[in-house]
Amino acid sequence: ELHTSSLSLLFLGEDDQSRRSSQSSRPGPGKPRGVPVLRVPPSDSSNLSLMATLLERPAVSEFNHMLRSHGIPTETWGKHGAKAVDQLFWELFCQRGSILTGLGTKQLKRVTRLLKIRLLADIDGADHVVVSRLQLMHDGQQIQRQQLPLGRLCWKMPSDNALLQSCKINLCDENNEYAESWRSCWPSVLEARLGICSSAFQHQLDEVTSAYSYHTEDNVHSEGYPGLKVTFRVTNPAHSKVACIGLPLGQDFATANDNFCLERFHSKDALPIGSQLNVWSWAPLSEFNKVYVKPSFSETTKTEKSPGREEPVPQCVEDELMMRKRVPISASMSKLASMDNVAHAASGKTPKKTAPNAKLRRVLSSKRTDWRTVRKIASNLLDKNYTLSQFMQDLAAFPELSLYLRDGVVETGSGRTADDEYQRTICAFFAIYWLMRLDIDGRQGFCFGTDETWTALKESAVQDGQVAMESALPNGLQKRFYQLERRLAFFNNAQWSFFRRLMVDAGLLEASFQNGRNTFRVKETRMVSLLALTAIHDIMKIENLLPTVQPEHDGYHGYAAGDVIGDHDHALCYVMDHYPDLLPSFKDLDPAERQSVQFTQCNLCFNHGWLVQAEAPAGAIFSKFREAVARDRRVQGGARDIALYFVHWLTDLAGAEPTPLGGCEKFVIKFPLHVLNSFLQSFKFIEGISVRTETQVMEKYLKYRWSDHVPTLGEPPKGPHAIAAMRLLCMAQANGRTIVDAFNQELSSEDKEVLSVEMARTGCAGQFFSPELTPSEVISKAAGPAFLVYYGPAFLQRMGTDSPLRRLEILAEIFRCARKLWPAVPDQAGNFVTVRIDAITIQGHWSADSELLLLRMCSNKQACIERRPKDGNSFNEDSTQILFNTDNGAPLCSQEEMIRRLGPAMLAEGHWYRKVAFAFLRPALPGEEIRTMVDGNEETKKIAQAGDYVVRADTKWKELYVLPQQKASDAYDLAAPMDIAERLDAAELRAGGFRCYRCRTRIKAIRASESLLSKICPQKRFMASWGSPCVVKADDMLAAQVSDSTIKEIYRIEKTVFKETFSLDQ
């Protein structure tokens, strides 16, 4: 029988790997506000748990000495997820879960048999598997990983001895008589790990016998780890008996055995060996298999490494290194969230007021900021004895931080998890800590991160090979991801004096000259304001907290009454303006300081990223800023408040990566120094807003960025496309040159015109860029609104396998669809609309199947890209545009029609290509069906006839297709097969009946651009000459067999296949 512990809810942040894909995300309503902890009843294995102090210490010491004498470095054990010597001793001699062989030799091996259980359940129509994402161990370690429920099978050796010199028994034998049977112990494993009793679940579980497997896994140091995997499926996820494991919604849950005490774990008191707490999640099975089902080490080491290339590293390795640099949830922070939920649950009351957001009011209305601790933080920042760990503990003084830790408030508008946003906020706090302590340990912590004691690494230590938050992974891998050269370059070349000067200008530090040197003192009141601002600045990224505009505030920042404010900056502004009492860390600030915070976050309404990346039109960037500066010019602290804004912007961006203990990696690793210098240089342009118009400031800045580009681009461009070219250069950052070249040289005239016109609209009534830089249409017919393509820079910076031209075509189509939703009219020339495209950038959901994507009007100020409903007719056409789709139910384009439509362009604009690769052919079996598969996708299929040939391409996809005898004879020299003896896959080819032939094919081909497809093949499917539909995607090549200026057939060749097999025929 299960029972909950006295601490029935555990409040922990979620890691990246525990998040579910958008297709199977858990519904918000009805979710618990914490992770329920189930106490696992005593079992045989848990009864074996005992305190480390109760082990026979002489025996443990002798055992440790034996291990070291065999070359085992036990001094590194008990760290980074590795077991301690005590635990291995307990495992061998108490639990009987392992044996050691090779005693007295140089090949000491630990052998254990593991039972791994996959427990499957159908959640939202997709198979999910339960995995442990976090383990709190008896020795104080917190291990974050994705692990199946597993148990160790017991050994019963004839001599009852776990230490063997040699063993004649085949320990890897699946049916070894001295190993416990998995069938007898799987119920106890489920009970010990998940807390479910097999007798209670006997009618809810079905064994999936086809999924059983037995194999050995090797690692770097030892071999012979037999493992078994068995799979059970929950037959009825909605049954009440399985609610304790998070079904049917797939909620997180936790289990702890009776010997585990969370309070003692947090206080680092001793706990019995073997006791632990596991936090479990339901992960989509397809994603779990993709990331975590990997070949054994022996298999991976057999793969030959290409000369000059680094071996690929599994994503989970990089994830583990990142997780090491995240801060654990402190006991005080977890307690803060726990107290909040318990208090609300006990009261059972619903607040009478719900505006502007019921959840926000319920969570924060009764909270208070611990201002005594906040002032302590401010006063201690320059104290060399004030450690980073103490700073982190003191941050619990801000109640807003607990919002990120509440299960049920986890969706964010940035495409990241709530835990990511929490880690990023902590990283911004750490940036403040480091920048205030530049003469103590700040530069080192900012650049190099910390060791496991949270002490800033020194330059000499990292040069000697130490990395931030070392793990048990091979040191070479850790160095590879640490990027020491970039860190040292930033450490030695960053403009540290600028950071210090900005702190002084913002009133955070007071400088004085004493005893021949500059000294600094923290100005406590001002620093408290910056800390409070950092605590609240990103909470509106949690979508469940976004406010709704009330009737009395209709028109706020352009949002109508009843609109949910989607922009997190505007949302926070709205709450500070009209509901300040809902923000404990804002409402109690000194009135003058509240005005300063509002100036930086609300009244200013200035997004620096919009300028440096040219993401937004001039009006969106500067209009509110200019109004605020003009309005507050009479205030003495105006300039100081602008400096405070820039300090906040820098610390926020410095903390943009969710890895606080790794240093400020966004700046140090991912920002080229010259780009950061561009940011810093932009401040002098922004200062000109008091004497110039918004458009003049932006034009001057765009020209500067063009002139400052490395390598040089020459003089800033002129002509109607100039503004678009300069903005695209800024948006694409490192890809700027290639994007501009594609814009100038490859983009169709229609798409180029769309980008030039839309990107030259200013969003400022009566303002235009210089006539020599602007399309005449923009000046002669002033109209709006202008468009801010939110996440547009990320779309051009993270192109994946897309070409620059492909991304520009997509961007042009987004502008084109947005203009259909908001026709250009004169009275909107001074306004702008936000078009959010994060669904295809940050969230990574871009799909070549364009019919799946819609641009939908969310309000009169915002549109967003989203997935098309399965019922294509279930959306409002007045407020929705389908991207790239002009399919209105027309029949599939025939081969003859395709030749008619494409033929003139193919003959006039297509280029001749010659197939340079060879291929492998075999006679086809009459009636066999051949499917052509490229990158896992079926391109086409054909049933072979007598005399046909099956061709296997010599590409990475090894795709198969069918050719009639005459075509095969024309395309390949069938009379002269080639020798393939030296090929690695020679035996495989011979076994399949294939022989190698050189190709003599010559074709004409043209690139399938979006604009071309929209004209000749809007469905992106046409009938191939062999009678099967052929799918064509943007950037693929359309090929033609041409004889005497007559096109015989047209077919599609996938872009990567084309690059591998064809070259331009000179």
Q: How confident is the model at residue 636 (pLDDT cuts 50, 70, 90)?
A: very low
Under the banding of pLDDT at 50, 70 and 90, the label for residue 799 is confident
pLDDT at 887: 44
DSSP state of 834: E
Q: Which alpha helices (H) appear in 771-866, and where do they start and end? A: 776-780, 792-797, 804-821
pLDDT at 755: 97
Q: What is the pLDDT of residue 161?
A: 65
Residue 422: HSE in the Cβ half-sphere, 13 Å Cα cutoff: 30
Contact 457, 468 (CB under 8 A): yes
pLDDT at 290: 65
The pLDDT of residue 334 is: 58
Closest C-alpha among 726, 739, 727, 885 to residue 803? 739
Under the banding of pLDDT at 50, 70 and 90, the label for residue 222 is very low
Does 437 score more than 80 pLDDT?
A: yes
Cα distances from 398 to residues 33, 587, 658, in angstroms, run: 19, 12, 19
Q: How confident is the model at residue 410 (pLDDT cuts 50, 70, 90)?
A: very low
What is the Cα–Cα distance from 422 to 419, expressed in whole angstroms? 5
Could you tell me the pLDDT band of residue 221, with boundaries at 50, 70 and 90?
A: very low
Q: Is it the case that residue 834 has pLDDT exceeding 70?
A: yes
Nearest of 438, 335, 446 to residue 393 by alpha carbon: 335
pLDDT of residue 167: 56
Residue 51, pLDDT score: 52
Split at pLDDT 50, 70, 90, the class of 868 is low
Reported confidence tier of residue 217, pLDDT bands at 50, 70, 90: low
How confident is the model over 776-801, as a mean pLDDT? 91
pLDDT at residue 184 greater than cutoff 60: yes
The CA-to-CA distance between both ends of the chain, in Å, stands at: 79
Of the two residues 300 and 329, the one the predictor is more confident about is 329
Looking at the predicted structure, is the pLDDT value of residue 32 above 70?
no
Q: Higher confidence at residue 521 or residue 139?
A: 521
Q: Give the mean model confidence (pLDDT) for residues 173-193.
A: 79
Amino acid 948: pLDDT: 94
CA 290-294-296 angle, 5° bins: 175
**Highest mean pLDDT range out of 14-23, 141-150, 603-612, 751-760?**
751-760
Mean pLDDT for 43-65 is 62
Q: How does DSSP assign 892-959, residue by residue? A: PBPHHHHHHHHHHHHHHH-EEEEE-SEEEEEEPPTT-EEEEEETTEEEEEEE--TT-EEEEESSTT--
Cα dist from 811 to 561, 835, 1005, whole Å? 31, 11, 25
Tell me if residue 1007 falls in helix, strand or coil: strand
pLDDT of 170 above 70: no
In this predicted structure, the answer to whether residue 1010 has a pLDDT above a threshold of 90 is no
pLDDT over 60 (residue 195): yes
Q: Is the pLDDT of residue 525 over 60?
A: yes
Range with lowest mean pLDDT among 298-302, 362-366, 367-371, 1008-1012 = 298-302
pLDDT at 16 exceeding the cut of 50 = no
Burial of 43 (0-12, 13-18, 19+ CB in 10 A): middle
Query: In which band, very low, low, confident or very high, does the pLDDT at 20 lie, cut at 50, 70 and 90?
Result: very low
Q: Is the pLDDT of residue 888 over 90?
A: no
CB 1041 within 8 A of CB 937: no
150: amino acid identity, one letter:
L
Arithmetic mean of pLDDT, 243-250: 79
- Residues ≥6 apart with Cβ < 8 Å to 279: 10, 12, 35, 132, 133, 134, 135, 252, 253, 254
Checking if the pLDDT of 483 tops 80, the result is yes
Over residues 357-395, the pLDDT tens digits come to 988 888 888 889 999 999 999 999 999 999 999 999 999
Q: Which residues contact 728 (CB under 8 A, 6 or more apart)?
A: 614, 736, 739, 740, 743, 755, 759, 796, 808
What's residue 295's pLDDT? 45
The answer, yes or no, to whether residue 218 has pLDDT greater than 60, is no
pLDDT of residue 1029: 73
Q: What mean pLDDT, rounded, does the chain reach? A: 80
Q: How large a percentage of the chain has pLDDT more than 90?
A: 31
Calculate mean pLDDT across residues 696-719. Answer: 93
Q: How far is CA 225 from the centre of its chain?
A: 33
- Model confidence band, residue 803 (pLDDT cutoffs 50, 70, 90): confident
Q: Is the dihedral of CA 38, 253, 132, 229 positive or negative?
A: positive
Q: According to the model, what pLDDT value does residue 867 have? A: 72
Rounded to an integer, the average pLDDT of 1055-1060 is: 85
Q: Which has the minimum average pLDDT: 157-161, 263-267, 424-428, 554-558? A: 157-161
Q: Average pLDDT for residues 683-699, to the nearest whole number?
A: 84
Q: Between β-strands 1002-1007 and 1021-1023, what pairing exists: parallel, antiparallel or unpaired?
A: unpaired
Asked if 293 contacts 227 with a C-beta cutoff of 8 angstroms, the reply is no
Q: pLDDT band at 414, cuts 50/70/90?
A: low
Residue 47 has a pLDDT of: 45
Tokens 């106890």 belong to residue:
188
